[in-house]
Structure 1
Amino acid sequence: MKKRGYIYGSICGVLLHGFGNAQTPNDTLTPQKLEEVVVTGTRTSRNVATLPLPVQIITAAQIQKSGVSRLNEIIQEQTGLLMVPDFGGGEGIQLQGLDAAYVQILVDGQPLMGRRAGTLDLSRITVHNIERIEIVKGASSSLYGSEALAGVVNIITKKTPLNTPLQGNLMYRIASFDTHDFATTLTYGKKKVGLEWFANYFKTQGYTLVPNGFQQTVEPYYNLTLQPKIRLQLSDRFYGQWSTRLFHQEQVYKAVINTEPLSGISRQLEWNVSGLFHHELTANKKLIYDLYATRYQADEFLTQNNQQRVETTTFDQWFYRPEVRFHAQWGKNRFTSGVGMTHESLDRTYFKEQVALQSYYVLGQWEGYLGDSWNILAGFRYDRHFQYPSQWSPKLALNYRWNEHFSLKIAAGFGYKAPDLRQLYFNFTNATVGYAVLGYQVVAAQLAQLQNQGQLLFVYPLDRSEPLKPERSFNLNWGGYYQKELFTLEYNLFYNRIRDLIDTRAVAQQTNGQNVFSYFNVDQIFTYGLEINSHYTFKNGHHFAAGYQYLMAKDQSVVDRLQRGEVFARDPVTLNTFALSAQDYFGLYNRSKHTANVKWRYRIPRWKTEIHTRILYRSKYGVFDSNGNAILDRYDNFVQGYML
């Protein structure tokens, strides 16, 4: 499916209108310390400075001042986060050098569905009702289970306080490529009931980087987001919120198959409902009942000029998750425990029938202090699965407060990513090229069928003594946090190792010369690097921020082969073949060793105006092997580094 690209050269007009008794804070240059609170990393409210985990916060003010419209646009401006394309044409978050499939995306603490090739389309999330975005880096499966192997991005939407008079606002933005963005919010609250309505409509004609072509780089599309909420204060000890989110998108879909241009429509429909209720048992003990259900549908079709439909694909995913958590606090100690279950079903093209996954889990976490300086966080989660081995995910983190300005942080944890339904049950044959991809659970039966039909030349030996195992990671972060008056500095050294990496490999060759592929636990990869973030506010209204990441990401099997002298390259001048050394290995595809950002803003209180400049840099990276030795080495062709 075509995904939204960037919109350049935008000329934005904003219309803001408030009614009721809404109050606007006065502009001021008085320095104010921002107490940023994080709930994602611990499931409890914590200040960033005291949290023993590497965390980034993107506030609503930062989002508004950036002038962006969709979530992917604000994410790409953060240190250590890259929006990179996948093989399906979409973009996902690369975090600490790990792919988008390993990053858990949450909206108000609830998982977002719709991964069709491991990547979620973040452009379907509008930013106009976001209160803040919390990014926890490092394995977080001890709280969130599968897909939190690299970290968690939690999009927290705005909440209206009770006893709020009727008020609302409108926002309209127009930009190049016939782009229109309209958002409205309506809120009202009494003593025990709060109501909120949010709506967003977005439309663009897209753009093309190749003039006069049949296909555009981004095809025209529009989408609509609705999100109503109801807050209830049923008693002094029982309160909560019901919310739902509805998203619908339609986009022009074009493709060229066998030189024939085809046109059609691509549709997405997402719906979810969430209930979160707090039951205070005593002054320092409470239960939280968390109920969540969501459905994500996508379908697309292509037709010929005579309107004869030639291709149709569908995707229908359901996800349910009830959870009960217990929170207790005594002195400086906090204890969290919880039990829950997940049920996921998927019916899609290239599946023989609807398939499902189900698991139960229990989690526990303790946060405490030793004296005035040491803060300790220890937690675990156990997931009982039925289609693959169950998983333990422990985590331990420490924060040492050196003095009132400086603290040290270290965190170690294990994460996992369960095999998804595509890797288990996929049954796909490319009609144009002729290759096939079969899920682990269906490969044996399908190979037997192909062999009986005389379509196979030979079958490679298959080791199916064990089921497909979840990918496992070990993550280590060590860093520091310094804050004094108007200056803040954060640094973090990280290391990740993933074993039992799930990838495809050939299992048979067909009579047409094409291979049949399936999924197996094949390799190990590792990443390590350094992140630095700093910002300083001058008293004359200037604010300066800078961030930098150094990254190394490699395949352990390639490193081993290089050490044994088994990888070769050919000199492009002399055409002589020679063995590559470990220093010649660049690393994994689509990774840059250096990324950086510089941000500057200037406030003019008299005009109630701010001027912003942002510069983003990415060093060179490789997207494919160009010299035929199946690795990315320094003799390959690279995408050169660039600055935006």
Structure 2
Amino acid sequence: MSLNKNKIALFFAGLFLLPLSGQELPRQVSDSFPTQDLEEVVISATRTYRQLSSLPLPVTLIPKAQIERTGVTRLNEIMAEQTGIVMTPDATIGGGEGVQIQGVASDYVLILIDGVPAVGRSSGNLDLSRFALGNVAQIEVVKGPSSSLFGSEALGGVINIITEEPDLERIRGSISHRAATFNNQNTSVNLGRKYGKTGVSFFADRLSTDGYDLAPADQQQTVNPFYNYTLGGRVRSEIGKTLDLLVSTRYFAQEFDVDPGTSEETDFNSLLRATHHVGERSEWQYELYYTRYTTTEETVDPIDETQRLDNDFDQRLLRPEIRFTYDFKGPFQLIAGAGYAFERLDRSLFDGQVSFNSQYLFSQLDFRPVPRLNLIAGARFDHHSVYASQLSPKFSARYDITDHLALKASVGSGFKAPDFRQLFLDFTNASGGGYSVLGKEAEVRGIQRLEDRGELASLAVARSELGIPLQAERSVGYNAGFRYRKGILTGEVNLFRNDFRNLIDTRILASKTNGQNVFGYLNRDRVYTQGAEVDLQLRPWPGLRLNAGYQYLLAFDKDKRDAVEQGRVFARDPGTLEAVRLEEGDYFGLENRSRHTLNFRAFGEVPRWDAFANLRVTYRSRFGLADLNGNDLLDITDGSFVRGYALVNLALGKTFLKRYQWQVGANNLLDFRGTNPLAAQDTEVFLNPGIQLFTRLSIQL
């Protein structure tokens, strides 16, 4: 149900009634980064500026220098090298990739650009290769439930891309071109200048490739030729002593060569933010954000030129938000805010246009009761037009035992609203045998339509179960560990557990007369992920930095684990082909999760030669893609496992005449390819295209 206009007015007016002191207090927050300790300042974890080393939460910071030295140009490439973060191939739906944090799937990881959300997910995955890195100042990753500040989709974590801001009264920036295997050509221009109290920046990026084909027996390439470009700009101006204005925009367009047919994609973001400094310690921020993501996909049969698929997708989000920050006298800081989100989706696979609207309030108190103890308590309330209201609290603590050793812990609740697909999808795959998928809101109408046409053979569920509303998925996440920092060594250990309930899963609703099924959605699963992360950084001498990270992960469905422990699950022995009862150790866990992941990074500089080199290694132990033996869980007898593998990336670079930098390198230096165990024998698809060589020339302005 939607709120009426009076309720909307009262909702926003309520925020302005927060207590506000009229005295002049020191100003703390602005849109620009503080100049001191730039690389250790983060804003995503608390929505206020904090030193990375002082946070009570598990946070990963990737600075611009690290991005540039690796030679990578897209967000998915740099994320794959971080501890506890895995880019997961989804071979069951055609090779898409998702980002996994602490074993939590990409559906539950929120992607932000300068603090505002990106939209446009395909089967839950948001394609991180859409985001170019040429104008990125740093990337911040908050692990664990973050719905207390960011709402739905943040119950597994947040990735925030922070773009650069000009700080000099002269043109500054870079121009670069990168050429790589598969005729991959990437040109990037990033320029900025400050005119008095106004900073202006411009960014342009173009990427094209011939793609590659890992399955010659198939008619289509594994990755079709494509080109895309990104245009961005921002203007930030200080008006007097009390007002800052920020206007930023980004436009991304991509086109694939899928002859006969078309595939186009666009992504537009626009942000207007005004910051009013009421006093030296307090400020208001007024934000208006709009984003639109579209795809147009049409597949034509190459033989008779008939249309096989027409998939248009048009998602829009308009979100005004107000935030208030206040530093009390003493060790207290308060941030509070409210917002209203209007979301609409037009999709050819839906029966008409669908829309959501939601309102939310959030508040967080950051305080130090004693000098060595930092406590952060916050909560967010979301009211949605479709699903029930949600309250998401979070509490974090950090205690400095010594100047070098600190303990930290956090517990928080998160949620994810049912998405448009799970609610409104009404799809029949004519080219795939005629199966159908119905979102919860389309179940009753879709089943009735099949009955009227004489296409329904039998119902697999009671008719009274059709259309029962989906509940929001919820989780409670725990993180605890310690951080040690002294001299050349920095180490961090983090133990985590994420408990989920009401996870939305698919089920069979009915059988059709053609032998195919009708699928729907329901709240069913209770799952958990738990494990440990270790991060070490060593600087044995100036110019050399060594990093190593390891994650141990367990991820299980509680109901399926209980069924195995109770001896109620069987599988066919691969050797004898006899049915055997599974034991507890035979249940491997959730799909696409590896027990062990490791990474090692070595960054070295030779100032005398103006040269640098880096070696990055990532390892992922074996994982399973799907249940193939029909017992509804992934066990050791399933034939869908991908063997463990390591990827080795190398980059070398040298600076000439102070402004020109040349890089050469190789990603996947060991030429790992792998196989997809779900592919048919005559269309074997590798998981990786093999070694990719690159060279890059950049000019610093």
TM-score (norm 2): 0.84
Aligned residue identity for 1:379: G
> Is 1:265 matched up with 2:262?
yes
Question: Structure 1: which 5+ runs fail to align?
Answer: 1-31, 255-262
**Contact residue 359 and residue 383 of structure 2 kept, 8 A:** yes
- The separation in 2 between residues aligned to 1:601 and 1:223, in whole angstroms, is 31
Please say if 1:234 is aligned against 2:250: no
Tell me, in whole angstroms, the C-alpha distance in 2 between the residues paired with 1:278 and 1:406.
37
Partner residue in 1 for 2:549 = 547
Q: Aligned partners of 1:42, 1:361: CA distance in 2, in Å? A: 17
Residues 477, 580 of structure 1: alpha-carbon distance in 2 compared, 3 angstrom cutoff: same
> C-alpha distance in 2, partners of 1:33/1:291?
30
Structure 2 counterpart of 1:352: 351
In 2, the alpha carbon distance for the partners of 1:217 and 1:454 equals 39
Aligned mates of 2:38, 2:116 — CA distance in 1 = 26
**In 2, Cα distance between the equivalents of 1:399 and 1:340?**
30
**How big is the shift at 1:615?**
1.2
Decide whether the 8 Å contact of 1:509 with 1:516 is kept in 2. Answer: yes
Q: Is the 8 A contact 2:543 2:606 kept in 1?
A: yes
Q: Distance in 2 between matches of 1:425 and 1:33?
A: 48
Equivalence for 1:187: 192
Cα shift readout 1:586-616 (whole Å, capped 9, x = no counterpart): 1011110000011112211111111111111
Partner of 2:588: 586
* Mapping for residues 133-532 of structure 1, pairs under 5 Å: 133-161=139-167, 164-211=169-216, 213-253=218-258, 263-305=260-302, 309-330=307-328, 331-432=330-431, 433-459=433-459, 460-461=461-462, 462-463=464-465, 466-532=468-534
The separation in 2 between residues aligned to 1:445 and 1:246, in whole angstroms, is 38
Deviation of residue 310 (structure 1)?
A: 4.1
Match of 1:44 among 48, 52, 67: 48
1:587-606 equivalent positions in 2, closer than 5 A: 587-606=589-608
Structure 1 partner of 2:73: 69
AA partner of residue 439 (structure 2): G
What CA deviation, in whole Å up to 9, does each residue of 1:417-470 have, x standing for no partner?
000111110000011211110010110111112112221112221425852100
What letter corresponds to residue 364 of structure 1 in structure 2? S
1:439 and 1:316 map into 2 onto residues whose CA distance is 18
Q: After the TM superposition, which residues 56-135 of structure 1 pair with which residues of structure 2 at under 5 Å, given as runs?
A: 56-86=60-90, 87-135=93-141
CA distance 1:310–1:563, change in 2 (3 Å)? closer
- The change in CA–CA distance for 1:447 and 1:208 in structure 2 (over 3 A counts) is same
What is the one-letter code of the residue matched to 1:209?
Answer: L
State whether residues 49 and 407 of structure 1, in contact with CA within 8 Å, keep that contact through their aligned partners in structure 2: no
* 1:312 Cα offset (Å): 2.0
SS in 2 for 1:359: strand
Amino acid at match of 2:436: A
Counterpart contact for 1:491–1:532, Cα < 8 Å: yes
Query: 1:67 Cα shift?
Result: 0.9
Q: Could you say what secondary structure the match of 2:152 adopts?
A: coil
Aligned to 1:639: 642
Per mean C-alpha deviation after superposition, the further-off stretch among 445-454 and 305-314 is 305-314
Instruction: Please say if residues 253 and 300 of structure 1, whose CA atoms lie closer than 8 Å, have aligned partners that are also in contact.
Output: no
Q: How far apart, CA to CA, are the structure 2 residues paired with 1:314 and 1:627?
A: 35
| 1:260 corresponds to | none
- The answer to whether the 8 A contact 2:478-2:498 is kept is yes
- Taking every aligned residue pair, what percent have the same amino acid on both sides? 43
Provide the rounded CA distance (Å) in 2 between the counterparts of 1:345 and 1:33.
41
User: What whole-Å deviation, never above 9, does each CA across 1:369-415 have from its counterpart, x for those lacking one?
Assistant: 02111100000000011211010000000001111111111000000
For residues 233 and 633 of structure 1, the distance between their equivalents in structure 2, rounded to whole angstroms, comes to: 60
Secondary structure in 2 aligned to 1:394? strand
Residue deviations 1:268-299 (CA, integer Å, cap 9, x gap) = 11111101211011111110111100111101
Moved more, 577-586 or 149-158: 577-586
Aligned residue identity for 1:158: E
SS at match of 1:458: strand
Partner of 1:53: 57
1:434 alignment partner, SS class: coil
Q: Is the 8 A contact 2:300 2:307 kept in 1?
A: yes
Tell me how far apart the structure 1 counterparts of residues 216 and 580 of structure 2 sit (CA, whole Å). 43
Task: Check conservation: 2:500, 2:527, Cα contact below 8 A.
Answer: yes
| Map of 2:611 onto structure 1 | 609
What SS class does the counterpart of residue 458 from structure 2 fall into? Answer: strand
AA aligned to 1:643 is A
- Determine the C-alpha separation between the residues in 2 that align with 1:303 and 1:513: 26
**1:78 counterpart letter in structure 2:** Q
Cα offset, 1:487, TM superposition:
1.1
- Aligned residue for 1:209, secondary structure, equals coil
Q: Is the 8 A contact 2:165 2:192 kept in 1?
A: no
Contact 1:223 1:247 in 2 (8 A): yes
Which amino acid letter does the alignment assign opposite residue 383 of structure 1?
A: D
Q: What SS does structure 2 have at the residue aligned with 1:583?
A: helix
Distance 1:351 1:466, change over 3 A: closer
Q: d(CA) in 2 for partners of 1:441 and 1:123?
A: 32
Preserved CA contact (<8 Å) 2:147 2:415: yes
Q: Please give the alpha-carbon distance, in whole angstroms, between the structure 2 residues aligned to 1:494 and 1:563.
A: 24
SS in 1 for 2:53: helix
Whole-Å Cα distance in 1 between the matches of residues 305 and 571 of structure 2?
50
Deviations 1:464-484 (A, max 9, x none): 585210000010000111111
- For residues 635 and 297 of structure 1, the distance between their equivalents in structure 2, rounded to whole angstroms, comes to 42
CA distance in 2, matches of 1:152, 1:381: 16
User: Is residue 166–residue 172 contact of structure 2 (8 Å, CA) maintained in 1?
Assistant: no
Q: Secondary structure at the match of 2:349?
A: coil
Mapped to 1, the partners of 2:258 and 2:532 lie a distance apart of 41
Q: Helix, strand or coil: the match of 1:441? A: helix
Q: Deviations over 1:30-70 (max 9, x none)?
A: xx987511110100001111111100000100100111011
CA distance in 1, matches of 2:363, 2:37: 33
Q: 2-side partners of 1:201 and 1:573: how far apart?
A: 53
Distance 1:179 1:465 in 2: 48
C-alpha deviation, 1:632, in angstroms: 1.1
Q: Please say if residues 550 and 595 of structure 1, whose CA atoms lie closer than 8 Å, have aligned partners that are also in contact.
A: yes
Give 3-state SS (helix, strand or coil) of 2:203's partner: strand
The CA RMSD measured in Å over matched residues stands at 1.6
